[in-house]
Protein backbone atom coordinates (compact mmCIF):
# COMPACT_ATOMS: atom_id res chain seq x y z
CA UNK A 1 0.00 0.00 0.00
CA UNK A 2 1.02 3.59 -0.39
CA UNK A 3 0.93 5.02 3.16
CA UNK A 4 1.01 8.53 4.53
CA UNK A 5 2.29 8.45 8.13
CA UNK A 6 1.66 11.60 10.16
CA UNK A 7 3.71 12.05 13.34
CA UNK A 8 6.45 9.71 12.08
CA UNK A 9 9.18 11.51 14.07
CA UNK A 10 7.35 10.66 17.32
CA UNK A 11 7.80 7.71 19.71
CA UNK A 12 5.06 5.59 18.13
CA UNK A 13 5.08 7.10 14.62
CA UNK A 14 8.70 6.07 13.95
CA UNK A 15 7.88 2.44 14.85
CA UNK A 16 4.86 2.56 12.55
CA UNK A 17 7.02 3.86 9.69
CA UNK A 18 9.71 1.23 10.41
CA UNK A 19 7.22 -1.64 10.49
CA UNK A 20 5.47 -0.44 7.32
CA UNK A 21 8.79 -0.25 5.46
CA UNK A 22 9.82 -3.69 6.78
CA UNK A 23 6.55 -5.12 5.46
CA UNK A 24 7.18 -3.66 2.01
CA UNK A 25 4.76 -0.73 2.00
CA UNK A 26 5.55 2.50 0.24
CA UNK A 27 5.88 5.07 3.03
CA UNK A 28 5.53 8.82 2.81
CA UNK A 29 5.85 10.86 6.01
CA UNK A 30 4.32 14.27 6.58
CA UNK A 31 6.92 16.13 8.66
CA UNK A 32 7.30 19.64 9.99
CA UNK A 33 11.10 19.56 9.85
CA UNK A 34 12.78 17.42 7.15
CA UNK A 35 16.09 17.91 9.00
CA UNK A 36 14.73 16.30 12.16
CA UNK A 37 13.19 13.53 10.03
CA UNK A 38 16.40 12.69 8.12
CA UNK A 39 16.52 9.23 9.76
CA UNK A 40 13.18 8.34 8.14
CA UNK A 41 14.62 9.15 4.71
CA UNK A 42 17.62 6.95 5.49
CA UNK A 43 15.22 4.10 6.29
CA UNK A 44 13.66 4.51 2.83
CA UNK A 45 10.63 6.73 3.46
CA UNK A 46 9.72 9.72 1.33
CA UNK A 47 9.45 13.00 3.24
CA UNK A 48 6.92 15.70 2.52
CA UNK A 49 6.89 18.95 4.43
CA UNK A 50 3.56 19.77 6.07
CA UNK A 51 1.78 20.73 9.25
CA UNK A 52 -1.62 19.68 10.62
CA UNK A 53 -2.19 23.31 11.50
CA UNK A 54 -1.63 24.35 7.88
CA UNK A 55 -4.57 22.66 6.06
CA UNK A 56 -3.23 23.68 2.64
CA UNK A 57 -0.17 21.48 3.17
CA UNK A 58 -2.34 18.34 3.50
CA UNK A 59 -3.78 17.66 -0.03
CA UNK A 60 -0.34 17.54 -1.73
CA UNK A 61 0.90 15.15 0.98
CA UNK A 62 -2.12 12.90 0.44
CA UNK A 63 -1.86 12.73 -3.35
CA UNK A 64 -1.65 9.05 -4.36
CA UNK A 65 -1.87 7.72 -0.78
CA UNK A 66 -4.14 4.69 -0.31
CA UNK A 67 -3.95 4.76 3.50
CA UNK A 68 -3.23 7.22 6.31
CA UNK A 69 -1.79 6.33 9.70
CA UNK A 70 -2.09 9.26 12.08
CA UNK A 71 0.35 9.06 15.01
CA UNK A 72 0.61 12.80 15.61
CA UNK A 73 -0.20 14.70 18.78
CA UNK A 74 0.71 18.11 20.19
CA UNK A 75 4.18 18.13 21.75
CA UNK A 76 4.15 19.29 25.40
CA UNK A 77 7.08 21.54 24.51
CA UNK A 78 5.25 23.17 21.55
CA UNK A 79 3.55 26.53 21.63
CA UNK A 80 0.63 24.93 19.72
CA UNK A 81 -2.23 23.85 21.97
CA UNK A 82 -3.79 20.38 22.11
CA UNK A 83 -6.96 21.92 20.65
CA UNK A 84 -5.11 23.33 17.63
CA UNK A 85 -3.23 20.10 16.78
CA UNK A 86 -5.39 17.26 18.13
CA UNK A 87 -8.74 18.77 17.22
CA UNK A 88 -8.47 21.43 14.46
CA UNK A 89 -5.51 19.67 12.84
CA UNK A 90 -7.11 16.19 12.95
CA UNK A 91 -10.42 17.45 11.59
CA UNK A 92 -8.50 19.02 8.68
CA UNK A 93 -6.60 15.75 8.09
CA UNK A 94 -9.75 13.60 8.12
CA UNK A 95 -11.52 15.99 5.71
CA UNK A 96 -8.50 16.09 3.40
CA UNK A 97 -8.19 12.28 3.48
CA UNK A 98 -11.86 11.91 2.58
CA UNK A 99 -11.52 14.40 -0.28
CA UNK A 100 -8.40 12.55 -1.53
CA UNK A 101 -10.31 9.23 -1.63
CA UNK A 102 -8.07 7.47 0.91
CA UNK A 103 -9.14 3.79 1.34
CA UNK A 104 -7.97 3.15 4.93
CA UNK A 105 -7.42 5.43 7.91
CA UNK A 106 -5.78 4.35 11.19
CA UNK A 107 -6.18 6.55 14.25
CA UNK A 108 -4.66 6.27 17.75
CA UNK A 109 -6.98 7.16 20.60
CA UNK A 110 -6.71 6.69 24.36
CA UNK A 111 -8.35 3.85 26.29
CA UNK A 112 -11.44 4.87 28.30
CA UNK A 113 -11.43 8.42 26.84
CA UNK A 114 -15.23 8.59 27.19
CA UNK A 115 -14.94 8.19 30.97
CA UNK A 116 -12.97 11.41 31.51
CA UNK A 117 -14.77 14.34 29.78
CA UNK A 118 -13.08 16.81 32.19
CA UNK A 119 -9.59 15.82 30.93
CA UNK A 120 -9.02 17.92 27.77
CA UNK A 121 -7.00 15.39 25.71
CA UNK A 122 -9.42 12.56 26.62
CA UNK A 123 -12.42 14.63 25.54
CA UNK A 124 -10.70 15.61 22.28
CA UNK A 125 -9.87 11.95 21.55
CA UNK A 126 -13.50 10.97 22.16
CA UNK A 127 -14.66 13.69 19.76
CA UNK A 128 -11.97 12.64 17.23
CA UNK A 129 -13.33 9.09 17.33
CA UNK A 130 -16.88 10.30 16.69
CA UNK A 131 -15.84 12.67 13.91
CA UNK A 132 -13.87 9.89 12.19
CA UNK A 133 -16.72 7.39 12.55
CA UNK A 134 -19.09 9.86 10.89
CA UNK A 135 -16.64 10.91 8.16
CA UNK A 136 -17.48 7.97 5.90
CA UNK A 137 -13.81 6.93 5.86
CA UNK A 138 -12.91 3.29 6.24
CA UNK A 139 -11.20 3.70 9.60
CA UNK A 140 -9.76 1.63 12.44
CA UNK A 141 -9.27 3.23 15.85
CA UNK A 142 -6.72 1.75 18.25
CA UNK A 143 -7.24 2.77 21.88
CA UNK A 144 -3.89 2.85 23.70
CA UNK A 145 -3.01 3.46 27.31
CA UNK A 146 0.72 3.99 27.88
CA UNK A 147 4.08 3.35 26.21
CA UNK A 148 6.93 1.36 27.78
CA UNK A 149 9.34 3.80 26.12
CA UNK A 150 8.10 6.57 28.45
CA UNK A 151 9.12 4.51 31.50
CA UNK A 152 12.84 4.69 30.73
CA UNK A 153 13.14 8.39 31.57
CA UNK A 154 10.58 8.21 34.36
CA UNK A 155 11.91 5.16 36.23
CA UNK A 156 14.77 3.18 34.66
CA UNK A 157 17.38 5.97 34.34
CA UNK A 158 16.75 7.77 37.66
CA UNK A 159 16.85 4.45 39.54
CA UNK A 160 20.10 3.43 37.84
CA UNK A 161 21.63 6.82 38.64
CA UNK A 162 20.30 6.76 42.20
CA UNK A 163 18.22 9.89 41.52
CA UNK A 164 14.71 10.52 42.84
CA UNK A 165 11.76 8.94 41.04
CA UNK A 166 8.68 11.18 41.03
CA UNK A 167 5.30 9.50 41.35
CA UNK A 168 1.85 10.84 42.17
CA UNK A 169 0.60 9.78 45.59
CA UNK A 170 -2.45 8.05 44.15
CA UNK A 171 -1.75 6.15 40.98
CA UNK A 172 -3.71 3.58 38.96
CA UNK A 173 -1.94 0.61 37.38
CA UNK A 174 -1.43 0.93 33.61
CA UNK A 175 -1.02 -1.85 31.00
CA UNK A 176 1.99 -0.30 29.23
CA UNK A 177 2.89 -1.58 25.77
CA UNK A 178 6.04 -1.46 23.63
CA UNK A 179 5.43 0.89 20.66
CA UNK A 180 6.93 -1.77 18.35
CA UNK A 181 4.05 -4.06 19.31
CA UNK A 182 1.47 -1.28 18.81
CA UNK A 183 2.92 -0.68 15.34
CA UNK A 184 2.27 -4.36 14.47
CA UNK A 185 -1.46 -3.85 15.18
CA UNK A 186 -1.58 -0.64 13.13
CA UNK A 187 0.01 -2.22 10.05
CA UNK A 188 -1.97 -5.45 10.40
CA UNK A 189 -5.24 -3.45 10.48
CA UNK A 190 -4.57 -2.40 6.87
CA UNK A 191 -4.95 -5.97 5.63
CA UNK A 192 -7.67 -7.37 7.92
CA UNK A 193 -11.18 -6.41 6.69
CA UNK A 194 -12.69 -7.36 10.10
CA UNK A 195 -10.97 -4.31 11.63
CA UNK A 196 -12.74 -1.85 9.32
CA UNK A 197 -15.01 0.80 10.87
CA UNK A 198 -14.25 -0.48 14.36
CA UNK A 199 -12.35 0.57 17.49
CA UNK A 200 -10.17 -1.81 19.53
CA UNK A 201 -8.21 -1.57 22.77
CA UNK A 202 -4.50 -2.21 22.20
CA UNK A 203 -2.75 -2.55 25.56
CA UNK A 204 0.08 -4.49 27.22
CA UNK A 205 0.01 -7.94 28.81
CA UNK A 206 -0.80 -6.70 32.36
CA UNK A 207 -1.30 -3.49 34.35
CA UNK A 208 1.63 -2.26 36.47
CA UNK A 209 1.44 0.13 39.43
CA UNK A 210 4.22 2.68 40.03
CA UNK A 211 5.48 0.71 43.04
CA UNK A 212 5.64 -2.52 41.02
CA UNK A 213 7.65 -0.76 38.29
CA UNK A 214 10.03 0.66 40.89
CA UNK A 215 10.47 -2.83 42.38
CA UNK A 216 11.19 -4.29 38.94
CA UNK A 217 13.80 -1.61 38.16
CA UNK A 218 15.37 -2.10 41.60
CA UNK A 219 15.75 -5.83 40.97
CA UNK A 220 17.07 -5.54 37.40
CA UNK A 221 19.41 -2.58 37.94
CA UNK A 222 20.88 -3.90 41.18
CA UNK A 223 20.26 -0.52 42.89
CA UNK A 224 19.05 -0.90 46.46
CA UNK A 225 16.21 1.20 47.92
CA UNK A 226 15.53 3.74 45.15
CA UNK A 227 14.64 7.28 46.23
CA UNK A 228 10.93 7.83 45.65
CA UNK A 229 9.29 11.27 45.90
CA UNK A 230 5.50 11.16 46.12
CA UNK A 231 3.60 14.20 44.85
CA UNK A 232 0.23 14.73 46.55
CA UNK A 233 -2.62 15.09 44.03
CA UNK A 234 -3.75 18.37 45.62
CA UNK A 235 -0.37 19.92 44.89
CA UNK A 236 -0.67 18.89 41.22
CA UNK A 237 -4.17 20.42 41.09
CA UNK A 238 -2.85 23.71 42.43
CA UNK A 239 0.02 23.75 39.94
CA UNK A 240 -2.46 22.99 37.16
CA UNK A 241 -4.69 25.90 38.14
CA UNK A 242 -1.69 28.22 38.26
CA UNK A 243 -0.52 27.05 34.81
CA UNK A 244 -4.00 27.60 33.35
CA UNK A 245 -3.78 31.25 34.33
CA UNK A 246 -1.04 31.87 31.76
CA UNK A 247 -1.64 31.18 28.08
CA UNK A 248 1.80 29.58 27.69
CA UNK A 249 0.89 27.23 30.52
CA UNK A 250 -2.22 25.75 28.87
CA UNK A 251 -0.35 22.80 27.37
CA UNK A 252 1.25 22.02 30.73
CA UNK A 253 -2.11 22.38 32.49
CA UNK A 254 -3.82 20.05 30.00
CA UNK A 255 -1.20 17.41 30.67
CA UNK A 256 -1.33 17.79 34.43
CA UNK A 257 -5.05 17.07 34.14
CA UNK A 258 -3.99 13.54 33.27
CA UNK A 259 -3.02 12.96 36.89
CA UNK A 260 -6.79 12.94 37.56
CA UNK A 261 -7.10 9.80 35.42
CA UNK A 262 -4.43 7.98 37.43
CA UNK A 263 -5.85 9.31 40.69
CA UNK A 264 -9.09 7.37 40.22
CA UNK A 265 -7.11 4.24 41.03
CA UNK A 266 -9.02 2.37 38.29
CA UNK A 267 -6.57 0.22 36.30
CA UNK A 268 -6.05 1.35 32.70
CA UNK A 269 -6.23 -2.02 31.00
CA UNK A 270 -8.45 -4.17 28.78
CA UNK A 271 -9.03 -7.80 27.82
CA UNK A 272 -7.14 -8.46 24.60
CA UNK A 273 -7.95 -12.11 23.67
CA UNK A 274 -10.57 -11.18 21.07
CA UNK A 275 -8.38 -8.39 19.66
CA UNK A 276 -5.43 -10.74 19.06
CA UNK A 277 -7.76 -13.14 17.35
CA UNK A 278 -9.29 -10.48 15.02
CA UNK A 279 -5.84 -9.09 14.10
CA UNK A 280 -4.44 -12.63 13.74
CA UNK A 281 -1.49 -11.78 15.97
CA UNK A 282 0.15 -14.03 18.57
CA UNK A 283 -0.01 -12.65 22.15
CA UNK A 284 3.11 -14.66 23.04
CA UNK A 285 5.09 -12.37 20.75
CA UNK A 286 4.10 -9.25 22.68
CA UNK A 287 6.93 -7.84 24.82
CA UNK A 288 6.29 -7.92 28.58
CA UNK A 289 7.52 -5.12 30.82
CA UNK A 290 10.00 -7.53 32.47
CA UNK A 291 11.49 -8.38 29.06
CA UNK A 292 11.59 -4.74 28.02
CA UNK A 293 13.44 -3.56 31.15
CA UNK A 294 15.67 -6.66 31.18
CA UNK A 295 16.82 -5.86 27.64
CA UNK A 296 17.35 -2.18 28.51
CA UNK A 297 19.35 -2.80 31.68
CA UNK A 298 21.51 -5.57 30.26
CA UNK A 299 22.42 -3.30 27.33
CA UNK A 300 23.16 -0.28 29.52
CA UNK A 301 25.05 -2.23 32.21
CA UNK A 302 27.21 -3.89 29.54
CA UNK A 303 28.03 -0.44 28.10
CA UNK A 304 28.90 0.92 31.56
CA UNK A 305 31.20 -2.07 32.18
CA UNK A 306 32.98 -1.47 28.86
CA UNK A 307 33.32 2.23 29.68
CA UNK A 308 34.80 1.48 33.11
CA UNK A 309 37.22 -0.99 31.54
CA UNK A 310 38.32 1.57 28.91
CA UNK A 311 38.80 4.25 31.58
CA UNK A 312 40.86 1.93 33.79
CA UNK A 313 43.01 0.99 30.77
CA UNK A 314 43.62 4.65 29.87
CA UNK A 315 44.54 5.43 33.49
CA UNK A 316 47.06 2.57 33.54
CA UNK A 317 48.61 3.71 30.25
CA UNK A 318 48.91 7.35 31.31
CA UNK A 319 50.59 6.25 34.58
CA UNK A 320 53.09 4.17 32.62
CA UNK A 321 53.98 7.17 30.41
CA UNK A 322 54.99 9.37 33.38
CA UNK A 323 58.69 8.61 34.03
CA UNK A 324 58.75 10.03 37.60
CB of 310 to ligand NAP, least distance (A): 33
CB of 281 to ligand NAP, least distance (A): 19
**Residue (56 or 306) nearer to ligand NAP, CB:** 56
| Bridge partners of residue 165, in order along the sequence | 228
**Residue (54 or 310) nearer to ligand NAP, CB:** 54
Give the DSSP H or E segment for 230: strand 228-231
**Residue (146 or 158) nearer to ligand NAP, CB:** 146
**Alpha-carbon gap, residue 187 to 184, rounded angstroms:** 5
**Residue (154 or 223) nearer to ligand NAP, CB:** 154
**Residue (57 or 66) nearer to ligand NAP, CB:** 57
CB of 179 to ligand NAP, least distance (A): 7
CB of 66 to ligand NAP, least distance (A): 20
Q: Where are the beta strands (DSSP E) in 50-153?
A: 67-70, 104-110, 139-144
Please state, in angstroms and as integers, the Cα–Cα distance from residue 67 to each residue in 10, 29, 138, 190, following that order.
19, 12, 9, 8
Chain residue at closest Cβ approach to ligand NAP: 10
CA angle 238, 239, 240 (to 5 degrees): 90
Contacts with ligand NAP by CB under 6 A lie at 6-7, 9-13, 32-33, 36, 51-53, 71-75, 80, 85, 89, 108, 110, 144-147, 150
Closest to 257 in 3D by CA, of 143, 124, 165: 124
**Alpha-carbon gap, residue 322 to 152, rounded angstroms:** 42
CB of 70 to ligand NAP, least distance (A): 7
Amino acid sequence: MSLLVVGATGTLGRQVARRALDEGHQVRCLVRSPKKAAFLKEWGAELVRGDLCDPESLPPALAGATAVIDAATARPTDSLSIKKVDWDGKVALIQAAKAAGVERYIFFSILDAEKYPHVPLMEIKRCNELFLAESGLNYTTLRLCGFMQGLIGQYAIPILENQAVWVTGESAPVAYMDTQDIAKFAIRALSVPETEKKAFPVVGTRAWSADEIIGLCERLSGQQQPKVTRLPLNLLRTVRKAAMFFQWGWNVADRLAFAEVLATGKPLTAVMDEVYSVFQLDPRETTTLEEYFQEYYSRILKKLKELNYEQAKLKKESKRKIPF
